[in-house]
Chain A
């Protein structure tokens, strides 16, 4: 079975401080990992995915297969980063399509 765990429900940091949102997963195959974000009054949207190895809005995430983690990091948090962040894993479901399994979410609050 596949599972995604985000241990922190709420993370509060000051503007300019580094931020790390933790994500751990369990999956028997080769995973694809994603971070989705929901800003206030906006729709859920893709932030980044590990296969792209890109930095979006200053955020990066590295897949660590040894630790089964995909933590989201940003060196200097901005107030506009305040949002709900979801880690997600893609795995085969009933041999029909790759559906996403989401973690419980972490609310990031960046204080001025």
Chain B
């Protein structure tokens, strides 16, 4: 089992460019989420999904879109990148409401916006 796979690991964008961070899981977990990690600010929730076809906003959703067409995939889209979106992004899964809030994290994607 691969667990949670994030691609790409590193990306450099210019301001205004768009891109998609991919997240795939093979654990059949219901819940998936995206966090961004910034120094001194910890991890902040961007968007989350409690199942296929269901998404909702977290703490810092502006500038990001998500969709959940399958249980396995939860891509994060940046429509027009800004320098403030320079960060490390983590995808995480949880085994539904019974998962006792134990998150399984991906390896992270480091994004730099120039």
Interface of A is mostly: strand
Stretch at the interface among B20-28, B37-45, B67-75, B79-87: B37-45
B44 touches A96 (CB 8 A): no
Q: How many residues on chain B are close to A (CB under 8 Å)? A: 27
Interface of B is mostly: strand
B40 touches A9 (CB 8 A): yes
B107 CB within 8 Å of chain A = yes
Which B residues are CB-close (under 8 A) to A104? 40-42
Given contacts A43-B107, A99-B58, contact A32 B101 (CB under 8 A): yes
Which A residues are CB-close (under 8 A) to B19? none
Q: How far apart sit A97 and B54, CA to CA, in the bound complex (Å)? A: 11
A-B interface pairs (CB < 8 A), number: 61
A44 CB within 8 Å of chain B = yes
Interface bits A30-61 vs B (CB < 8 Å: 1, else 0): 00101010000001111001010000000000
A100 touches B101 (CB 8 A): yes
B76 CB within 8 Å of chain A = no
A105 touches B42 (CB 8 A): yes
- Which of A32, A49, A100, A104 has the most CB atoms of chain B within a 10 A radius of its CB? A100
Given contacts A32-B101, A49-B101, contact A97 B42 (CB under 8 A): no
